[in-house]
A and B are shown apart, each in its own frame.
Chain A
Amino acid sequence: MKQALEKRMNWEDFMKRIIKAGIAAMGVAVMATTALAADWTPPGPIKLMIGFRAGGGADTQARLIAEELEARMGWKFIPEQVTGKGGLNLANALKDQPNDGTAIGMVVTETLGYNMAAANAGMTPENFTGLTTTAGFQMGVVARTDKGWNSFEDMITAAKGGQDIRFGAMSPKLADLAYLLGKAQGVDFNIVNVKGGKGVMNGVNAGDLDVGFMAGIQAKGVEAGDLINLASALSEPLVQTPDAPTFADLGVEYSADGYFVFIGPAGMPDEARDALSKAIVEIVSDESTKAGGLIKKAFGGVSVISGDDLTKLLADDYANAGALMDAASE
């Protein structure tokens, strides 16, 4: 009995030792990676160009990430709004900045995809270094609940009954998608271009628009029952309203899948690229930070793509943009 007890104690000691060793090893590994990240410090304050209107959800996300980076890493950020032309103004300004990590920007993948292809402005994704995505869009087709539409079907019925439907879109790509959606459903939407998701939401709330694309900003309103997600503009259902049909269900073979993405000028050294994207990923993945909390609440959670995967994603988006444009101009 006693022997058995001793044996068990030894076994316990043994296990404890192993666990301790494991923890220590993990600690070393963690220290190694932080040491690696700490190897790179920006040679000066980092200019953070934000391609979104001040005060919106995307702008807040960028500023909160910068704030947390300053607190954690001790880097200094200078946020700056460079808006307009679907992010192309930012791309244009960023492309000639020093590529040592002291100038980065936040846009959406659409900027380097559809917009760059449509503008034919002498830029391709190869002029940039992709750092990391932070979140996808929870892109819904949203209406006010008091419109009385309980489903996407109700809206189409109303449109077929002769009601003009004003459809708010905040980018040319989304306008194309809205057009294709109408075409697939046999109705003509009056597609209104609005600046930013906040503009769409204000328009829908004020009654200037009947329905519109919102990329996550609708979360609170949907939760409160003031707004309703009629459809998901993504290839997948929305996290908040999984029952709403996707664009594929509605007969549109394209989707508004896309991400918020941090980019830098082309040819950024690997250590700068890795350090920046790693620091950003850590912050957005941590829901206890303000930035992580916002992403969880407003954008349905983090969605991180970086490194070579991101480079490939950006290149593919650019290459595939033509197909959507052709479809929409048929």
Chain B
Amino acid sequence: MGTLDYIWMGIQAVFQGPELFSLFGLPISVTIVMILAGFLTGIAVGATPGLAGPIAMAIALPILISVFGYTPDALLPVMGFLIGVMKGATIGGAVPAILFNTPGTPDAFMTTLDGYPMTQRGKAKKALRVAHFASASGDTFSDIVLIVCAPFLALLVEAYLDLPEKTALLILSLSFIAAVIGGSPAKGLISTGLGLLAAYVGTGEDFYPRLSMGSPSLSQGFPIATAVLGVLIIGAVLKELEDLWRRKRDSGEIPAHKDEGDQRLHGADIRRLLPYVGRSALIGTAIGALPGIGSTLAATLGYTVGRARYAKKKRPGAPEFGKGASEGIAATEAANSSVSGANLIPVLSLGIPGNAAAVFLILAAESIGGFNPGPSVFRFTTDSVNPELVIAFGLFTAMMVANVLNWTIGGLFMRSMGVMIRVPKHILLPSVLLLTLTAIYVQETRMEAIWFAVGFGVLGYLMRTVAISPLPFVIAFILGGKLEESARQAFAATGGDPWFLFTNPGAALLMAVAFAVIVFSARKTKEVA
């Protein structure tokens, strides 16, 4: 079993998986169909203001699991669908941004700056083509970096990090996430702390279910789906409903713009856009590889760097950045799309999720079983097959399949999604709420799960009203068990040394960085304020 054998088995796992139907005698595997379905769903969802990829992933996951079951065979179809949604939503978000000046996803905000002016000048189709080209390029680039880097990073971690360092690395990730997501590190820490608190209910090594206050429904702890879906999705829906109620739906007329002139993307255009796409793809990938920094920052940075270059290289007579320059769209879309692949580097090599999409991929893996994202996945065993490694290469294959779909039919489908802006929010939001609760019940099949989810939803709503980002909560909830486990193990392995985080030089260094991240970002916020 060499490396190439594993790659080949991963590819086969996708293409020769359980057959759904055959097309002209060619068997079509269910995984391929699920990737396509996810991809198209993702575009539609991304193009709908008020919805985003994570919502679709959250609702789809329990339903898919109940369809495919809890066997390892279910991993690739289910995760393929989620990957499809993740990729589709990235390009879909640009559609309403360009056509209606309303970003479908938060990271498409910068796209409105140049996209909408282009639409006003009658160049909507061309703007969409630019967005699609940049997005697909950035995404593909990022995936290639992921596929090359994740195995090596995992092997490095496994070879050089001992238990105390692994514990310190988890603490560093959590403090980094707390510091960079949301407005201030203090709020980030509150969110992280609440997440850890929730994760520690009913868990632990003692036989007594800790923090359960004697209640049998708490003794098994909070199911991960209720915490994640509650805080992320139900909380968001409640907040959106409140906003809607306040604005009383100022239903303005949707303006119509006619397309004029040449809408095609020529070779010369592509040559002109490529430097912007390349730079942004690099920025997005680098940012994506760090857990917690989202695609919104990547988009902003990509746009800023693009603007600086454009100021120097601008042809006379071409529109300014922010006034309808296609380079602006390209710089933004390439940056925010290249985050998604790289974001899976910490997920697959360390088991640390960096954004909401990654959270749902981990959730899928944990719910189905048979695949535990982390360094042990990339063990190239030679005497026997490591099934997790096959799954990992299957996921890489699924991402490449989604990229092929993106390049071939993505643009066409995306350009037809302008209608999604007309979906009324007062119908959309309650439907999402109902679907989410149903989905949770499908997976947990006990009434407590619904109460937990609603409770976490209220928590998510309250956090949003005081501008605390719920993402550190969710990531802390997922990492909490792992953190405790590795800390206990490190403590025991060092012979009960309570200072294991500081006596080991590697761990001490990581801890110092963890403190520094919090201190420096706290100071920076103060300066800004």
Is A190 a contact of B493 with CB atoms below 8 Å?
A: yes
Within the complex, what minimum Cβ distance (angstroms) separates A78 from chain B? Answer: 9
Residues of B within 8 A of A190 (CB): 492-496
Is B220 a contact of A93 with CB atoms below 8 Å?
A: yes
Is A206 a contact of B72 with CB atoms below 8 Å?
A: no
Is B493 a contact of A208 with CB atoms below 8 Å?
A: yes
Stretch at the interface among A191-199, A228-236, A261-269: A191-199
A192 to B370, CA, bound (A): 24
Known: A55-B370, A55-B372, A220-B384. A84 touches B203 (CB 8 A): yes
Residues of A within 8 A of B376 (CB): 202, 205-206
Is B492 a contact of A191 with CB atoms below 8 Å?
A: yes
A117 to B496, CA, bound (A): 27
Within 8 A of A (CB), among B490-504: 492-496
Residues of B within 8 A of A191 (CB): 492
Known A-B contacts: A79-B70, A164-B495, A194-B489. Give 18 more (CB < 8 A).
Answer: A54-B366, A54-B368, A59-B369, A84-B220, A85-B209, A88-B207, A92-B216, A92-B219, A115-B207, A120-B207, A190-B494, A190-B495, A193-B489, A195-B485, A203-B489, A205-B379, A206-B375, A208-B166
Within 8 A of A (CB), among B124-176: 158-159, 162-163, 166
Can you list 24 A-B pairs with a CB-CB distance of less than 8 A?
Answer: A54-B366, A54-B370, A55-B369, A55-B371, A59-B369, A63-B70, A85-B209, A86-B207, A89-B220, A92-B216, A92-B219, A118-B207, A166-B493, A190-B493, A190-B494, A191-B492, A194-B489, A195-B485, A203-B489, A205-B376, A207-B162, A208-B162, A224-B383, A224-B384
Is A54 a contact of B369 with CB atoms below 8 Å?
A: yes
**A209 CB–B CB distance under 8 Å:** yes
Interface range for B: 35 or more
Contact residue among B71, B207, B369 (Cβ-Cβ distance under 8 Å from A85): B207
Chain A residue with minimal CB distance to B375?
Answer: A206
Within 8 A of B (CB), among A170-186: 172
Chain B residue with minimal CB distance to A59?
Answer: B369
**A81 CB–B CB distance under 8 Å:** yes
| Chain B interface (Cβ < 8 Å from any Cβ of A) | 70-72, 158-159, 162-163, 166, 203, 205, 207-209, 216, 219-221, 366, 368-372, 375-376, 379, 383-384, 388, 485, 488-489, 492-496
Is B219 a contact of A89 with CB atoms below 8 Å?
A: yes
Looking at chain B's contact residues, the main secondary structure is loop
Residues of A within 8 A of B162 (CB): 207-208
Per CB-CB distance, the 8 closest pairs between chain A and chain B, nearest first, are A54-B369, A119-B207, A224-B383, A55-B370, A192-B492, A166-B493, A202-B376, A190-B495
Count chain A residues whose beta carbon lies closer than 8 angstroms to a beta carbon of B: 43
Within the complex, what minimum Cβ distance (angstroms) separates B447 from chain A? Answer: 15
Is B489 a contact of A208 with CB atoms below 8 Å?
A: yes
**A226 CB–B CB distance under 8 Å:** yes
Is B375 a contact of A81 with CB atoms below 8 Å?
A: no
A194 to B486, CA, bound (A): 9
Within the complex, what minimum Cβ distance (angstroms) separates B18 from chain A? Answer: 15
A154 to B216, CA, bound (A): 48
Is A206 a contact of B207 with CB atoms below 8 Å?
A: no
A192 to B500, CA, bound (A): 14
Residues of B within 8 A of A220 (CB): 383-384
Residues of A within 8 A of B488 (CB): 193
A92 to B220, CA, bound (A): 10
Within the complex, what minimum Cβ distance (angstroms) separates A289 from chain B? Answer: 16
**A121 CB–B CB distance under 8 Å:** yes
Chain A residue with minimal CB distance to B221?
Answer: A84
A81 to B485, CA, bound (A): 19
A119 to B147, CA, bound (A): 46
A190 to B163, CA, bound (A): 13
Is A206 a contact of B158 with CB atoms below 8 Å?
A: yes
Contact residue among B369, B383, B494 (Cβ-Cβ distance under 8 Å from A81): B369
A306 to B489, CA, bound (A): 37
What sequence of 0s and 1s flags, for each residue 112-141 of chain A, a beta carbon within 8 Å of any chain B beta carbon? 000100111100000000000000000000
Within the complex, what minimum Cβ distance (angstroms) separates B109 from chain A? Answer: 40
Residues of A within 8 A of B207 (CB): 85-86, 88, 115, 118-121
Q: Report which residue of A54, A120, A121, A164 has the largest number of chain B beta carbons within 10 angstroms of its beta carbon.
A: A54
Residues of A within 8 A of B219 (CB): 89, 92
Residues of B within 8 A of A193 (CB): 205, 488-489, 492
Within the complex, what minimum Cβ distance (angstroms) separates A24 from chain B? Answer: 42
Within the complex, what minimum Cβ distance (angstroms) separates B181 from chain A? Answer: 29
Chain B residue with minimal CB distance to A93?
Answer: B220
Residues of B within 8 A of A192 (CB): 163, 489, 492-493
Residues of A within 8 A of B71 (CB): 63
What sequence of 0s and 1s flags, for each residue 36-63 of chain A, a beta carbon within 8 Å of any chain B beta carbon? 0000000000000000011100010001
Q: Report which residue of B366, B485, B488, B493 has the largest number of chain A beta carbons within 10 angstroms of its beta carbon.
A: B493
A226 to B371, CA, bound (A): 23
A166 to B207, CA, bound (A): 23
Residues of B within 8 A of A166 (CB): 492-493
A93 to B70, CA, bound (A): 19
A213 to B209, CA, bound (A): 25
Is B205 a contact of A209 with CB atoms below 8 Å?
A: no
A85 to B488, CA, bound (A): 16
A194 to B495, CA, bound (A): 15
Residues of A within 8 A of B369 (CB): 53-55, 59, 81
Within the complex, what minimum Cβ distance (angstroms) separates B239 from chain A? Answer: 33
Within the complex, what minimum Cβ distance (angstroms) separates B441 from chain A? Answer: 15
Residues of A within 8 A of B220 (CB): 82, 84, 89, 93
Within the complex, what minimum Cβ distance (angstroms) separates A93 from chain B? Answer: 7
What sequence of 0s and 1s flags, for each residue 58-82 of chain A, a beta carbon within 8 Å of any chain B beta carbon? 0100010000000000000001111
A208 to B384, CA, bound (A): 22
Within the complex, what minimum Cβ distance (angstroms) separates A139 from chain B? Answer: 20
Within the complex, what minimum Cβ distance (angstroms) separates A107 from chain B? Answer: 14
A53 to B166, CA, bound (A): 21
A221 to B386, CA, bound (A): 12
